[in-house]
């Protein structure tokens, strides 16, 4: 059930009833009409065809070996699940798995979940999943809306989560040392160690103390690996990487998708409760502010710790990601990565260009844009946004005005 207070049942009915309009639903429409044919590969099934159809780069490949998928019988430290993504679709592939897994962003409703059976068919059918997936993907971990999560946890030698050691959902605010437990990570992070590429060999000796678990792991030895560990046969995957930059970008955008979805649900409910659009009551304006301010902070990377060393990916993901733009008249883009002290050169999320952001209710977008103006103009100099230098604010504002027409006219 959507965790939306008194409006939860109404929101759940909306999610279940309305016809999805996400990229995967649109792909099915093209398959049904014959506009797209998905070729079936003997080794990979529909994976290569799906990635091409959805324009998902193979360099985004991220490998997770914790048994945290419904296809856990096929997942291990030797055979991790592979995830591929673009701005609004995630595709999961498992060695020997019976289905491809999909999570896709509906501009209005949030995360949608599908499977595709790995058997050749003239017109393959993507099956939408609702209740089963929402047990995990509609909870406090996703902000109480249908959403996404990247968990970091400690696992044993078989990939089983060690729940007594605790788990956490990764966001931009997660310290590097607490990230990527249960994931393979290729690339350099310098002196910044992380929990990727590692598993706990001796559960009994830890005595259930999370600090004891971590203290017995040599994280320095499992950080800064430029290729997958030897126990993983990279020929079984589309490439030999689980790029750290791709993982950092995916962490950011999963968090932001959830924040956008929550704003959309909350503000629609507030407008419906008042019965006026635009809203006029102070109560409704307060509800909009309370829903949208966390999104403003997330999009501008408030309270995000700085990197202490340069980060370098191992695949071509960085270049592929940056070249997608859009670019302003000076050739700048919000997709430009920094990777020295922070993730992005211009710290405003590129998801400002997403369908989901554009589909937010008008009063929500008006509030967010008003706050962008206040912060980027320097009118808001509160500590929440103190990480933005004067140059940052000026450059981000110019990029937005050049590349986001509806912002420029507000």
Residue 172, in any domain of the structure: no
Residue 78, in any domain of the structure: no
Residue 60, in any domain of the structure: no
Q: pLDDT-derived band of residue 5, with 50, 70 and 90 as boundaries?
A: very low
Taking 70 as the threshold, does the pLDDT of residue 59 lie above it?
yes
Q: Give the residue from 22, 31, 305, 10 showing the smallest Cα distance to 178.
A: 305
List the single range of 78-87, 191-200, 349-358 with lowest mean pLDDT: 191-200
How large is the angle between the packed helices 390-403 and 362-376, nearest 10 degrees? 140
More confident residue, 124 or 134: 124
Q: What is the mean pLDDT of residues 131-159?
A: 80
Return the ∠ at Cα 67 (arms to 64 and 68), rounded to 5°.
Answer: 85
How many Cα atoms within 13 Å fall on the side-chain side of residue 37? 6
Residue 310, in any domain of the structure: yes
Token reading at 286: 């307060």
Provide the domain count of the chain: 1
Pairing label, strands 99-106, 151-153: unpaired
Q: Give the residue from 365, 296, 309 showing the smallest Cα distance to 190.
A: 309
pLDDT score for 152: 94
Residue 11, in any domain of the structure: no
Domain range holding 296?
Answer: 265-408
Share of the chain above pLDDT 90, in %: 79
What is the rounded CA–CA span in Å between residue 10 and residue 270?
12
pLDDT in tens, 150-209: 999 988 888 888 887 778 899 999 999 999 999 999 999 999 999 999 987 765 555 555
More confident residue, 114 or 203: 114
On whether the CB atoms of residues 40 and 120 are closer than 8 A, the answer is yes
Residue 316, in any domain of the structure: yes
The structure's pTM equals: 0.94
pLDDT score for 7: 53
Residue 58, in any domain of the structure: no
Residue 14, in any domain of the structure: no
Token reading at 136: 């995990």
Token reading at 340: 């020295």
pLDDT score for 135: 59
SS (H, E, C) the chain: CCCCHHHHHHHHHHHHHCCCCCHHHHHHHHHHHCCCCCCCECCCECHHHHHHHCCCCHHHCEEECCCCCCCHHHCCCCCCEEEEECCCEEEEECCCCCEEEEEEEECCCEEEEEEEECCCCCCCCEEEECHHHHHHHCCHHHCCCCCCCCEEECEECCCCECHHHCEEECCCCCCHHHCCCCECCEEECCCCCCCCCCCECCCHHHCCCHHHHHHCCCHHHHCCCCCCCCCCCHHHCCCCCCEHHHHHHHHHHHHHHHHHHHHHHHHHHHHHHHCCCCCCCHHHHHHHHHHHHHHHHHHCCCCCCCCCCCCEECCCHHHHHHCCCCCCCCCCCCCCECCCCCCECCCCCHHHHCHHHHCCCHHHHHHHHHHHHHHHCCCCCCHHHCCCCHHHHHHHHHHHHHHCHHHHCC
pLDDT score for 137: 63
């Amino acid at each position: 059930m959507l965790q939306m207070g008194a409006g939860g049942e109404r929101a759940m009915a909306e999610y279940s009833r309305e016809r999805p309009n996400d990229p995967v639903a649109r792909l099915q429409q093209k398959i049904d009409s014959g506009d797209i044919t998905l070729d079936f590969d003997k080794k990979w099934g529909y994976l290569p065809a799906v990635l091409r159809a959805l324009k998902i780069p193979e360099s985004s490949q991220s490998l997770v070996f914790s048994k945290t998928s419904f296809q856990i019988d096929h997942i291990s430290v030797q055979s991790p699940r592979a995830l591929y993504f673009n701005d609004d679709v995630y595709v999961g592939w498992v060695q020997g798995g019976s289905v491809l897994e999909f999570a896709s962003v509906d501009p209005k409703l949030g995360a949608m979940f599908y499977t595709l059976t790995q058997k050749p068919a003239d017109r393959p059918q993507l099956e939408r999943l609702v209740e089963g997936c929402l047990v995990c993907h509609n909870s406090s971990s996703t902000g109480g809306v249908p959403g996404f999560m990247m968990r970091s946890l400690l696992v044993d030698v078989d990939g089983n989560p060690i729940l007594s050691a605790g788990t956490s959902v990764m966001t931009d605010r997660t310290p590097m040392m607490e990230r990527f437990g249960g994931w393979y990570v290729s690339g350099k992070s310098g002196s910044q160690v992380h929990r990727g590429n590692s598993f706990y060999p001796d559960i009994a000796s830890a005595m259930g103390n999370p600090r004891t678990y971590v203290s017995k792991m040599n994280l320095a030895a499992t950080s800064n690996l430029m290729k997958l560990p030897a126990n993983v046969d990279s020929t079984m995957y589309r490439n030999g990487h689980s790029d750290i930059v791709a993982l950092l970008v995916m962490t950011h955008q999963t968090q932001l998708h959830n924040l956008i979805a929550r704003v959309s649900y909350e503000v629609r409910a507030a407008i419906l409760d008042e019965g006026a659009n635009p809203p006029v009551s102070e109560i409704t304006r307060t509800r909009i502010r309370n829903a949208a301010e966390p999104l403003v902070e997330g999009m501008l990377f408030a309270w995000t710790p700085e990197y202490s060393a340069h980060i370098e990916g191992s695949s071509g993901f960085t270049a592929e990601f940056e070249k997608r733009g859009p670019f302003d008249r000076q050739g700048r883009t919000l997709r430009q990565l920094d990777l020295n002290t922070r993730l992005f050169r211009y710290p405003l999320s590129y998801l400002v260009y997403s369908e989901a952001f554009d589909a937010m209710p008008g009063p929500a977008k008006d509030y967010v844009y008003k706050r962008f103006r206040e912060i980027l103009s320097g009118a808001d100099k509160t500590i929440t946004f103190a990480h933005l230098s004067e140059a940052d604010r000026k450059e981000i504002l110019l990029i937005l005005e050049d590349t986001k027409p509806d912002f420029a006219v507000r």
